[in-house]
Amino acid sequence: MKRALLLLAILATSAAAAPPVARFAWFDYRGSDPVDATIKAGRQDYRNPILQGFHPDPAITRVDRDYYLVTSTFTYFPGLPIFHSRDLVSWTQIGNAIDRPGQLDFGRIGLSRGVFAPDISYHDGLFYIANTCVDCGGNFVMTARKAAGPWSDPHWNSIDGIDPALFFDTDGQAWILNNGPPPGTPRYDGHRAIWLQRFDTKTLLPFGERTLLVDGGVHPQQKPIWAEGPHIFRRNGYYYLMTAEGGTAENHSEVIYRSRSVTGPYTPDPSNPILTQRGLDPTRRDPITSAGHADFVTTPSGQWWSIFLATRPYQGDFYNIGRETFLLPVRWQDDWPRITAPGATIPYVHRRPDLPRAPAPAIPTNGAFHVRDDFADARLARIWLQIRAPQSRWYSLAGGSLNLQARTAALGGDAQPAYLGRRLQHRDAVTETAVSFAPQRTGDAAGLAILQDPAHFYTLTLARTGAGNAVALSRRDGETDPVDGTTIATAPYKAASVRLRIVLSGARCAFFYAEPTGHWRLLAKDQDATLLSTKHAGGFVGATVGPFARGG
Residues in the chain: 552
Cα atoms in the Cβ-side hemisphere of radius 13 Å centred on 63: 15
Please give the torsion angle defined by the CA atoms of residues 498, 504, 509 and 513, in that order, rounded to the nearest 10 degrees.
-10
Q: How far is CA 289 from CA 21, 72, 295, 498, in A?
A: 43, 19, 18, 40
> In terms of Cα–Cα distance, which of 470, 403, 464 is closest to 439?
464
How many Cβ atoms are within 10 Å of 156's Cβ, its own excluded?
Answer: 14
Q: Which of 33, 36, 57, 484 is catalytic?
A: 57
In 181-288 the beta strands, taken as DSSP E runs, fall at 193-200, 205-215, 228-235, 238-245, 253-259, 267-268, 275-276
State yes or no: is 432 an active-site residue.
no
Q: Which residues face 353 on adjacent strands?
A: none
Cα atoms in the Cβ-side hemisphere of radius 13 Å centred on 13: 6
Q: Are the beta carbons of 71 and 350 closer than 8 angstroms? A: no
Cα atoms in the Cβ-side hemisphere of radius 13 Å centred on 303: 13
> In terms of Cα–Cα distance, which of 373, 236, 256, 244 is closest to 309?
244
Residue type, 117: A
State yes or no: is 250 an active-site residue.
no
Give the chain's radius of gyration (CA, Å).
25
Q: Are the beta carbons of 380 and 420 closer than 8 angstroms? A: yes
Q: Which residues face 354 on adjacent strands?
A: none
Terminal alpha carbon distance of the chain: 34
Q: Are the beta carbons of 331 and 274 closer than 8 angstroms? A: no
Give DSSP secondary structure letters for 54-69: S--S-EEEEETTEEEE
Q: Are the beta carbons of 472 and 465 closer than 8 angstroms? A: yes
Sheet containing strand 324-329, strands side by side: 289-298, 304-311, 324-329
Q: Which of 99, 228, 295, 373 is catalytic?
A: 228
Q: How far apart are CA 165 and CA 268, in angstroms?
A: 20
3-state secondary structure of 538: coil
Question: Catalytic residues, which ones?
Answer: 57, 228
